[in-house]
Structures are given as C-alpha cells and as structure tokens.
Structure 1
Amino acid sequence: MASRISSYWNLHKFSILMVLASLLFYTSFAYDLVRTDFIKLISLFFALFFLCFKLIQFEKWNFNFLLISGILFRLIFLLVEPNLSQDFYRFIWDGELVLSGINPYLQTPDAIMENGEILLANSQELYNGMGSLSARHFSNYPPLNQLLFAFSAFLGGKSIMGSLIVMRSIIILADIGIYYFGKKLLRHLNRSPHLIFWYFLNPLVIIELTGNLHFEGVMLFFFIWGLCFLSLNKWLFAAIAFACSISVKLVPIMFLPLFITYYGFKKSIKFYIVLGLIILIGVSPFYASEFISNYTDTIGLWFSNFEFNASIYNIIKQIAIKFDVKPWELIKTYGKIVPYLMIGFVLLLTFLRDNKNLSVLISSMFWVLILYYFLSPTVHPWYIIFLVGLSVFTDYRFPLAWSLVIILSYSAYENPEFKENLGFLFIEYFTVFGFMVYEIIKLKGQKLLIRKN
C-alpha cells in the first residue's frame, strides 16, 4: 500500500499540489472575500483559472482524479452564504411562498410585507437580503425552478443555511450529471471526452453555480440530457428533458424552431406537442388570470430596464449619447427591437442550415446563444455558463476565454454606486471578439485545406 501511494505521489505530485492550492484559494474565496474587494477577487479567480488549465493539461486522461477534484472544490462552498450574489434570498422567499400555498407570480415581496398578513419563515431577513430591486417585482423564475426552491425550503426546515445546503446539493448533483451525460455526448460526436472538464473544473462554473447558487447548471443538465436523447433517436424523452430545461430557465426556448429542420415538419410537431404539454403541466399549479401579464412584464424588464456588462448595447448607447438621446429612452426602444432580431436570426439558421446533423444543430444553438448574449443589455457572469457548457461540443473555445475575463464585470461592485468601468468592459469584449474572429478565420482555413486535400 505504501509503495502504491509513493508511486502515485511521484507520478502526480504536481497535480496534487495544484489541487491543494486550488482548495486553499476556493476556501479564501468562499470564507474571506467581499465582492467590493475587486483586486483580491480577480487575483484569486485568475489563479484558479490558471490552475484549472494546468490540471486539465497534466491529467486530462485521469478522469477520476479530475472528477474528485471538481467535487472537492464544490464542497468547499457547502456551509457558507454566497458572497457575490444576493439572489438566494429571493429563491428561499419564493420557496417559502410555494410551501405556504401562495403563488409567487401574483404578489411582490413589497406588497406582501406591506400587507403583513402572510407569515413566512425568516421573512424580514429574506426581504432585507434580496434588496429593493427584487422586492418590488414579481418572481421571474419558471415553475420547475419554483418547485426546487420549495423543495429546498422544505428540507431546510425553516433555516436559511439549511435551504442553502439543499440548493447546493441539487446544483452539485446537476453538475455531476452534466459530467456524466456530457462525456457520453462527446463520444457520440467523436470528440475527446476530456473536454467536459473545461466545464466541470471551470472556476466561473464552480463559483457562480455552487458558490453563488445560480441554477443555470440545473437548466444545462436537463439540456445536455436532452441532447443525449437526441443522439439516441429518443425524441419523446428528448422533448421531456428540453421541457424541464425550459422550466428551470427560459433561455433554451430560443432553440425550438431549429427542430423543424432537425426532425422534419411532421415529427417536429409531435416533439413540440409533448414539450408544450410538459411545460403546461408545470405551469398549471401557478396559473391565474394575472399570471401571464405579471410574468411577461417581469421578463420584459431584463430587456427594457436593466443593463449590466453589455457589449453591442453599450456601443450603441455611447454613440446615442453623442446625439443627446436619453439612455432610459434608448434601452426601452432597444429592448423592443432585440426580440425581433433574435427571431429573425433563429429563422435564418433554421431554414438556411442543414440542422439534420446533431453537430450542426448544436452549432446553430451555439451561435443563437452567442448573438443573444452579444445583443443583451444585461449579461451577468453566470449567464454565459450555458455558453461555456455548449462550447465543449463545438470547435470553438472563445467562450472559455470569456469565462475568464467576464470576472472583470465585478469591478462595478467596487464602488457604492455600482458604476461600470468602461475600460474593463473594453478589455473583456476586445478579448472575446478578438479570440472569436481568430478562431473563425483559423477554422475556415483548416476546412479549406481539408477540401484541397
């Protein structure tokens, strides 16, 4: 036994030391960091990203080693409150509402607290913690997400920390599921299965999902599971999985037109019917006459009222200001245009690309997501985790670079006014666009060489 341990140490000592260093850095990130300390935040993040890169480089075929390392990194965050996001307060609030039989889509936290008739566990602490922006709006989280919040609140036993532990456990299990099904999908696509570690060990994924309790990973789990069913020609199970993904986060709904050319018209109708029925079943417990208007109005705010870490929108905004256009007028107009641009782009990819091949279908989804984030006026760091996960099934790696430089957006929290630093935004998007153009040119050149040969 001792000789085996000694032999393993000699073979993997640098990797083991990197894992130990990563554990220390994640511990510091989880327990000894406030988001206003921007220098410490980016120093830890860049160090963790470097160690992630070296671990995959050294141990990319040692799957068990990297899997266990990724799980250990996540477990560091298990018993601590998120320090970069306060969204978890709203998650628990919504979960407590559902447990109490109250529809979270019909009353805002402000209205509930003013009325004073509804008693929730830890209501004052949750209300204060979520902040005024969240408190004055209806919930924007889809039905399956609400059920997960309620499940976490139930098992949490009226304890905020208990609810956090349950939510983290769900998110960690979802990431393990992404690892499992991601490997299967990569093999089906004739890609190296080790590529899944660019998601599983990515510091942005670990910090924003397990650390800050965002549910993009749960959405991605159902989505990749659905892609696996597509690869096995099991359209019924694929429809159910995609419906669950949409019921956690709405983003995958943009991809639905692409299935017209993947399945053909007749079969895609069956696919849409099953998917729609599953979504309707999830919505039915929350349905009321005001549900649709409240929910759509809340979702619309993300396009017409809020702005953070935007690329194209910021360029248009800076030009518009030169012509004395008011920013609050611009974002409302911009928010009305973006959905039409997205619909047009999706339809172009639907009817001008041969999406019958699964690799091409995933590529089309990838570019839809790219345009969506480039056009969006709000791009929080955890939003692009879906893009990071999808990128490992394509030839493009610039989303990985984005997952590194997007941490610069946290510079906005360095000052009490939450003012964005345009210099950091320029560095972020110059890196992303530059790397993207480089990869497009490089891959086109490679395809030309293959055709000539």
Structure 2
Amino acid sequence: MILSKKYQTILAMIVSIGLYFLFAYNLDRTNFTQLVSMYVALFLPFLYFIKKEQSNFPFLVGVAILFRLVFLFAIPNLSQDFYRFIWDGRMLLEGFNPYISLPQTYIEQRQFPIEQAVDLYAGMGDLNGSHFTNYPPINQLNFLIAAIFSNSSILGAAIVLRLQIILADIGIIYFGKKILEKLNLPIHHIFLYALNPFIIIELTGNLHFEPVMLFFLVWSLYLLIQKKWIWAAVVLGLSVSSKLIPLLFLPLFFQWFVKRPLDSARGDRDAINQTKSKLYSLNGFLQLLSFGAIVIVTNIILFLPFLSSELISSYTNSVGLWFRNFEFNASLYYIAREIGYLFRGYNEIAIIGKIMPTIAVLFLLGITFFRKNKSPQQLLTALLLGLTFYYFTTTTMHPWYLATLIILSVFTKYRFPIVWSVVIIVTYQAYANTPWKENLWLVGLEYLIVYGVLIWELKKLKSNKVLN
C-alpha cells in the first residue's frame, strides 16, 4: 500500500522526532553503531522534506523549529564544551574576567567563585579547564545571558543557551531566504542548512555557537548585496566577535569593492572612461580598507571591557594552541605529519602547524586576485572554496566547523558540504575507544568521499560552463 503525500509527510515527521529524541535523551556516544545508524537514517526524511515539501516554506520553517525544540531539555551528550560556556558566563556575572583566569587554578586552590564550580570543571574536563578561554566577546555575552537566567542549574543554563541558538537559526533562515531571492535561486535551498540533521544535532543539540556567528555573517552578506557596505562591515565585525573564522574572508572582498563594474548608482555610460575607471578603482580600494578597518575596530571596541595587561598574551596563546598542539580529523596535515614521521621520526606539528596556515593564506590570496569574485554568487563561491581549502589544511577539523561551509553552499552550485555533513559522523568513532583514539582509515574514507564529490562537481561545473 502506497501512502498519500499527507501521510508520508506525517510519517517523516514522526520518524525524525523519534530519532532526534533518541539522540537527545538516550544516546551513548561510545556506541558507534547506534550513533551512525540513527544519524544516517535521519537523512532519509531530510531528503523527503527537501524534495516533496519544497513549495511549502512556512511548513518547513515550522518543522525546522520543531525538530530543534526536541532537544530543549537535553544535556548535550556528544560534546563537553557547553560546560565551559556556562563557566565563562557565571564568571562574568560574578565580575571576573574569563580571559585571564583558568578554571583549573580555582579548583586546585579549592576556590569556588561560581555556583556548581566543581561540577562544571568535571564536565568540561582537565584539557579544557587548563587553557584560557578563546571565545570572543559576543559569545561571552551569550554565556552571560545564560548565567543571568540560570545561575545555579546546569540544565537551566543549557536551555537558555539552546534558545539563543534556535533564535539565531531562525535569523539565518530569514536573511538566507532574502539572499536566495536576490540571487534568483529557489528559496527552499535554505533548508539544506535549516533541516540538515548535522546542523540540528551538532549545533542545537550539542550547543555549539556557530549559528550566532553565521546569523551575523549571512546578515552582513545580505547588507553587502544591498550595497550597504558600512553596516555590512559592522555586522561582519559582530560575526568575527562570535567566532574568529570570518576574518579569513576579508581579502576575498577585494574584487567586490575594487573591480566591480560601474552601475547606475555610480555612474552612467558617459562616465565609463579610463580616467574615471581609475578613480572608481581608487574609491573602491579606499572602501575596501574602510570595510576592513570597521570590522577590526568593531572587535576592538567589543574587547575593551576585557582589556588587561594579560589579555593579549592569554588569548593569543589559547588560539595558537589549535595550530601548535591539537590535531583531530585533519586532511592534508595528516599526510604531512606522516611524511614528517618518515624523515624525522617524530611528530612535527610545531613546524607543520605553522606551514599549513601559510599555505591556506597563499591560496586565499590566489583566489582573491586570480579568480573572478565580482558578482554576489562569485563572491559567495569564493568564500566557500577559500574556507574549504583552509579546512583541508588545518590541524583540527571539529565537526561543527562544517556549518559555515553548509550555509555558504546554499547560495552556490556546490553540494559537497552536504555530503560531508553525512560522512563526518565517522569522526565520532574516536569516542568508542578507551582511551580516546582516532581511526585514520575512517578519516581517510571520509576525505576520499569529500574530495571525490568536490572534484566531480568542479569538473561538472567546468563542463557546463564550456557547453554554455
């Protein structure tokens, strides 16, 4: 018996809600088989909604919110980071500067400056508690809000954090739809992000604050397309002050400001001559510099309340650890590491960790100057490809980092981040081992699939361009 579309939709919703409920309240992350089977199963109703309900935008918005609310009262079971979020927020509420104090120091000295200090430290773990916080000011504001509303309950604080993430995702849907309309793309493409099981589980479920950063990023891009570049810079500054990753995008705006063709807002046909073209390029270059300056100044202003003699050293040291000490789910870095083992006999992360960002910056500069990034879609594609290469070279590629690629892909012709969002679940196999250990065969399989899909899409798009 074939169900009607109405009952197929109801069934897809019931299956999704049931699986999300199991993820939220009945999942042991060391049970890798259970984790993968439930996760992959969730992509079946996801594909159904995208294909069969794409014309019902309000319904899909409601479904996206409903699925997130399933996690509302859950303590994250796939990540410990939220314990540090709560710690930082409560430290702020008590008047402490979270950037210059270590949780480990307070615990070792038997000092408990906040409620549930011992429980929070135990939850975050020794590794997290022994490093200075690296979460920028906007994130600290989010953590403070959670502390204001729930200063003595971990679950209560988690609920407040989750509601903020859900609100940010609603904002992403709102501005994402507007960008899709501007680009003359189907508006239901925003649900490649909003209904993606990876996004719902990894961000709403595990309380990673990428949605706040992405909300400001998407809002900023919409303002830029609207030619409101000053406000776009301010909002991009807020995005950087949520997560630092959008700083990588600054060079890629070069052609948008300096090499875009004149339009009716900047001159008519009579104005297009060599002299005025040079003046236009100079004006665009000055706008580019102003754009970057506004982003930087916005962040400086937001950091001012935390200013101290120790801030710069503690913060830069904390951020630098990701390049010098940590390694997880890496791609090209793991290959370079194995070559280092072969010739030197030990892990060269201290050296390779400095070389890889340099290679990524050179790639960003290459697509900045040698790839057309003048139109909105060209710019968005450049952001996607630039960040993708950075993630291919990084020493640490946590699953939730992928969220930025997914939202950018929504506005382009590329879909490899969607495929990556499926296969990245294999990284959680590391938690099935005691002690924690990655399975490099699974990591290799993950990147083999991702590289394969990316290369196929590049060839397909190049072929279509030649044919057209």
Q: Which category of TM-score, normalised to the shorter sequence, fits these structures?
A: over 0.9
Identify the match of residue 145 of structure 1 among 134, 139, 144: 139
Residue 314 of structure 2 is aligned to residue 320 of structure 1: no
The residue type paired with residue 17 of structure 1 is L
Q: Distance in 1 between matches of 2:252 and 2:241?
A: 19
Per the alignment, in what secondary structure is the counterpart of residue 99 of structure 2? coil
**Residue 264 (structure 2) aligns with:** none
AA partner of residue 366 (structure 1) = L
Q: Secondary structure at the match of 1:323?
A: helix
Q: Deviations along 1:182-208, whole A, 9 cap, x unmatched?
A: 011011112111111000000110001
CA distance in 2, matches of 1:422, 1:267: 46
Write out aligned runs for 1:312-351 (5 A). 312-327=332-347, 330-351=348-369
What is the rounded CA distance, in whole Å, between the counterparts of 1:339 and 1:142 in structure 2? 21
Report which stretch shifted further, 347-356 or 60-69.
Answer: 347-356
**Structure 2 residue aligned with 1:50, among 44, 52, 55?**
44
Shift, 1:324, TM fit: 4.4
Cα distance between partner residues in 1 of 2:321 and 2:118: 25
Kept in 1, the 8 Å contact 2:90–2:151? The answer is no
Unaligned stretches of 5+ in structure 1?
Answer: 1-8
Quote the Cα distance in structure 2 between the aligned partners of 1:181 and 1:118: 43
- Structure-1 residue corresponding to 2:463: 445
Paired residue type of 1:261: Q
Secondary structure of the residue that 2:100 maps to in structure 1?
A: coil
Q: In structure 2, how many angstroms separate the alpha carbons of the residues matched to 1:325 and 1:252?
A: 36
Q: Residue 269 in 1 paired to residue 269 in 2? A: no
| Contact kept in structure 1, 2:336 and 2:352, CA below 8 Å | no
Which deviates further from its counterpart, 388-397 or 343-352? 343-352
Which residue number in structure 2 is paired with residue 361 of structure 1?
379
Distance across 2 between alignment mates of 1:364 and 1:202: 23
Deviates more, 1:338-347 or 1:182-191: 338-347
1:297 and 2:291 matched: no
The correspondence for 2:411, drawn from 370, 375, 393, is 393
The answer to whether 1:195 aligns with 2:195 is no
1:114 to 83, 100, 108: 108
Distance 1:45 1:241 in 2: 34
CA distance in structure 1 between the aligned counterparts of 2:443 and 2:464, rounded to whole angstroms:
31
Which residue, 383, 394, 409 being the options, matches 1:376?
A: 394
Report how far residue 343 of structure 1 moved.
2.0
Q: Is the 8 A contact 2:327 2:395 kept in 1?
A: yes
* Shift, 1:10, TM fit: 4.9
Question: TM-score scaled to structure 1, two decimals?
Answer: 0.95
Residue 431 of structure 1 aligns to a residue whose secondary structure is helix
* Percent identity (aligned): 48
Match of 2:238 in 1: 244
Q: Which residue of 2 aligns with 1:13?
A: 7
RMSD of equivalent CA atoms: 1.3
1:157–1:107 distance in 2 versus 1, CA, 3 Å: closer
Deviates more, 1:262-271 or 1:126-135: 262-271
Please state whether the residue corresponding to 2:37 is helix, strand or coil. Answer: helix
In the alignment, is the contact (CA less than 8 A) between 2:327 and 2:396 conserved in 1? yes
Give 1:331's aligned amino acid: I
Amino acid at match of 1:402: W
The residue number in structure 2 matching 1:5 is none
Alignment of 1:3-42 (within 5 A): 10-42=4-36
- Report 1:152-171 matches (<5 A): 152-171=146-165
Equivalents in 2 of 1:14, 1:408: separation in Å? 29
Matching residue of 1:419: 437
Task: Look up the equivalent residue of 1:268 and give its one-letter code.
Answer: L
Give the secondary-structure state (helix, strand or coil) at the position aligned to 2:114.
Answer: coil
Letter in 2 for 1:157: N
Unaligned 5+ segments in structure 2 are 258-283
Contact kept, 8 Å, 2:330 with 2:392, in 1: the verdict is yes
1: CA distance between counterparts of 2:209 and 2:390?
19
1:66 corresponds in structure 2 to 60
Q: CA deviation at 1:297?
A: 0.9
Q: Deviations over 1:258-308 (max 9, x none)?
A: 223222211112222322221111100011111111111111111111111
2: CA distance, partners of 1:344 / 1:219: 25
Between the aligned partners of 2:296 and 2:442, the Cα distance in structure 1 is 42
